[in-house]
Chain A
């Protein structure tokens, strides 16, 4: 699973570099995110702007990553494309995650 990671101070910015997170790759997604989360101690922001499609297995994997990070490091999301947004809305997961429309450096130091 191709997910790039960039350190911005304490913050880890992970960007999914493929256009879908589905049942065929949900486990690889979780494994790669687990690796990435070990690269720092701070917030983790997941950039989904390249992801055009997610199914409920992919959503479950994102939830699992959030739970694995624990309450001290809430997973934030940025750049949800329309179909991904629809999945979060219909499952009400949009009320659970902090979701940013887009990322800019001003958010880097935000609490």
Chain B
């Protein structure tokens, strides 16, 4: 984990990436605003730690991270501003992700349901996010700990 800690310390002030998995770590603290999220994602996808991802894995990672981060901006920080901490561990064929924020908890402190949208009748213009996240991740878990939201999942890459 030494390499991971070094990279982490260069990019942000978070202390421990993820204790339970091995790999190169990449950590970032992002202002919870759409523009900041978009720029941070583009920066993360260019990071040398992710250079080994294939094109499909890269697209999936960017999509899932965008959905998760946009949800935090839109819902968790709907009432007040804040920051989002993004911790990635790049392991062989797998990207472990943890997203932490100090926004409002998920309703009932549980993951919202999310399947494919109902396309009958009036076409939906939103509500696609959790369906995409659930379809593309494994080990999706949410916890509310000490006033912060912790979401973690893995992506095959």
Chain A contacts to B: CB under 8 angstroms: 20, 22-25, 53, 55-57, 59-61, 63-64, 66-67, 82-83, 86-87, 90-93, 95-96
Contact = CB atoms under 8 A, between A and B. Distances in A.
Contacts, number: 79
B66 A22 contact: yes
Interface in B98-157: 116-117, 119, 122-126, 128-129, 131-132, 135-136
A55 B66 CA distance: 7
A70 B70 CA distance: 29
Question: Number of contact residues on B: which range applies?
Answer: 20 to 34
B67 A55 contact: yes
B123 A83 contact: no
Interface of B: 34-35, 37-38, 41-42, 55-56, 59-60, 62-63, 66-67, 70, 73-74, 116-117, 119, 122-126, 128-129, 131-132, 135-136
B56 A82 contact: yes
B63 A23 contact: no
Contacts of B74: 23
A25 B37 CA distance: 12
Interface of B is mostly: helix
A63 B124 contact: yes
Nearest to B122: A67
Contacts of B60: 83, 86
B105 to A, nearest CB: 22
A24 B70 CA distance: 9
A63 B123 CA distance: 7
Given A24-B34, A53-B59, A82-B56, A87 B132 contact: yes
